[in-house]
Chains A and B, each alone.
Chain A
Amino acid sequence: MTTAVSLSDIEKSYGRTRAVAGVDLVAEPGITGLLGPNGAGKTTLMRMLATVLAPDGGRMRLLGHDPGEPDGRLAIRRRLGYVPQEPGYHRNFTAFEFVDYVAILKEMTDRRARHDEVRRVLGLVDLTDVSGKKIKALSGGMRRRVALAQALLGSPDLLVLDEPTAGLDPEQRLRFREVISAVATDATVVLSTHQTEDVSALCQRVVVMHEGAVRYDGSVRGLAEGARGRVWLAADRHPSARLSWRTGDGLHRNIGDAPPRADLVDPTVEDGYLLLVGSGAREEAA
């Protein structure tokens, strides 16, 4: 079977800023989470995966095709669904009209079949009841779901979702997880997010990006385990803690090099992530 995403030594710079610095990434059917702070290069990488931005260097194969070749790019786009970080809308369109518009761009020429597909994807994201409402009248969370609906058109083999859960309330996020986990049984989903909860709940694999480079690529459990022995609770912030915050029960959760006899606790994915990208991570990586 062809590897859905295969990136090797991908580079992208804006002027003197290296947004993506020698990234290698392989993704197969299932959900791969891309985690990183603002400015880590996630969106640049997602745009390259969505074929809207060309890399400056490196080798890229998506669904077995080279996006740098016109025929390959067209073949990829025919099997691709994409939710950009800031999906724009024609605000005077209704939700149905907007998804129908994207369906036309996705070469669905038969009107009846296209409308059936539009109804299907709007149903998947629970927007059937508001499909006739203008997008400008929808809430932010509903608009995000419209963006997800258009990405699901035609049951794509590769779904590139750039922060798709931003602005969704907990119930909507749950629904999103249901939809994406169902889709990912056959498709390859690459999902970028700030939310470690999304990664824990959905992803088989997580890639942590920081300053344009991959800092971790492995299982979700492995990311958490990376912080084992380095998370402890104490009455105060400890001087050796790289990060520390006061939790709801009044104790400080310290992350860093634990002192002897520290009250160590089980690490979470967030702990592992913060250890990689939080304050002081750069010095350690160097």
Chain B
Amino acid sequence: MSETWHADPRDLAEYSAGAIADARAASIEAHLVTCAHCRGQVNGLVDQDRLERAWFAIVDTLDAPRPTLLERVLGRLGVRSDTARVLAATPSLQGSWLLGVVVALAFATIAAQSGTDRGLALFLTLAPLLPVAGVAAAFGPTLDPTWEITAAAPGGGFHLLLLRAASIFGATLAAAALAALALPGLSWTAAAWVLPALALTLTSLALSTFTSSERAAAAVAAGWIAVVLVSAHGTQDLLSAFEAGGQLRLAIVAAAATMLVARRRDLFETRSHL
């Protein structure tokens, strides 16, 4: 369709400068769609730099990665978008993994509802192992499909490992804390798994400088269960591993593991075995 009239040049100039009321701008835009002559006039009036910036903004909006649910949540918590993207790629921060954590905690919490020491011991033994498994799955060849590309990038070494480990630990801690609130007769036991969780996660990280992260996590899990059982057998108290003496020993283990991780941090950067 060809137009028989043309827009006022002053209106076109104001439109091109972005200095026109919305209603008139809409009217001129409707006219420009069908009038090649006026489009030609506008072409000569528009600031080319501004046009280029606008065009790239459109292209960028179309290309830009769509934030996942996790990225949006992290964004709300004040995490930078690029950091959120890196965290969103963590295998053990994916929805399926987190669902697994929730289900495991739900079963343990239900068991604890029995009101017996056995149910509570099950919860307290299981809860610290969840961040151990999550952190083990966050890096390394087995579960991170991009580990090799990630490892060769300047931002992919120990710093990334700590970032992911802290995020997984935080996420699992939050889920376990909510589950702990549902334990019968809220008492010191609601928090008795926190220090074990920290100590076991750090020990698993330290051991993963000697072997694969999966083997390290498996060894820590087996060791932890053995400690709980042996302690319970020796004292006839299922919860003895979680009382003051046990917590103190775990604090020492956590400190020793932290020192070992710091000392051997280079092995997270470049592997000596694959």
Q: Which residues on A are within 8 Å of B, measured CB to CB?
A: 14, 47, 50-54, 56, 67-68, 70, 73-74, 77-78, 80, 82, 84, 86-91, 93-94, 96-97, 100-102, 104-107, 109, 111-112, 115-116, 118-119, 131-132, 147, 150, 160
Contacts and interface: CB of A to CB of B under 8 A. Distances in A.
Contacts of A52: 148, 151-152, 270-271
Query: 5 nearest interchain CB pairs?
Result: A88-B145, A105-B153, A84-B148, A77-B154, A97-B65
Contact of B266 (A70, A104, A107): A70
Nearest to A119: B63
A80 B271 CA distance: 17
Given A88-B144, A115-B63, A105 B274 contact: no
A53 B89 contact: no
A22 B151 CA distance: 25
A119 B63 CA distance: 9
A67 B270 CA distance: 9
B65 A73 contact: no
B145 A51 contact: no
A50 B148 CA distance: 9
B147 interface: yes
B19 to A, nearest CB: 26
Given A70-B269, A131-B63, 15 more contacts: A14-B273, A51-B270, A52-B270, A53-B272, A68-B270, A77-B156, A88-B145, A97-B65, A101-B89, A104-B86, A105-B155, A106-B155, A111-B81, A111-B82, A115-B60
Nearest to B80: A109
B129 interface: no
Interface string B57-91: 00110111110000000000000011001100100
A53 B146 CA distance: 15
A163 B151 CA distance: 18
* Most-contacted residue by chain A among B89, B271, B272 (CB, 10 A): B89
A50 B151 CA distance: 9
Contacts of B272: 53-54, 56
A84 B149 contact: yes
B189 interface: no
A101 B154 contact: no
A80 to B, nearest CB: 6
Nearest to B155: A105
Q: Is the interface of A mostly helix, strand, loop or mixed?
A: mixed
Contact of B160 (A94, A96, A105): A105
26 contacts: A51-B151, A51-B270, A53-B272, A53-B274, A54-B270, A70-B269, A82-B152, A88-B147, A90-B89, A91-B145, A93-B89, A94-B65, A96-B65, A101-B86, A104-B82, A104-B155, A105-B86, A105-B156, A106-B154, A111-B81, A112-B56, A115-B63, A118-B63, A119-B63, A131-B63, A150-B149
Contacts of A91: 145
B16 interface: no
Contacts of A116: 56
A104 B148 CA distance: 15
* Most-contacted residue by chain A among B60, B154, B273 (CB, 10 A): B154
A103 B88 CA distance: 15
Contacts of A67: 270
Given A94-B65, A115-B60, A115-B64, A105 B150 contact: yes
A53 B144 contact: no
Contacts of A107: 154-155
Contacts of B145: 88-91
Interface string B256-268: 0000000000100
B149 A88 contact: yes
A52 B148 CA distance: 7
B239 to A, nearest CB: 42
A96 B270 contact: no
A211 B21 CA distance: 76
Contacts of B154: 74, 77-78, 105-107
A102 B64 contact: no
Contacts of B155: 104-107
* Most-contacted residue by chain A among B63, B151, B269, B273 (CB, 10 A): B63
B271 A54 contact: yes
B186 to A, nearest CB: 40
Nearest to B270: A54
Nearest to A75: B154
Contacts of B152: 50-52, 77, 80, 82, 160
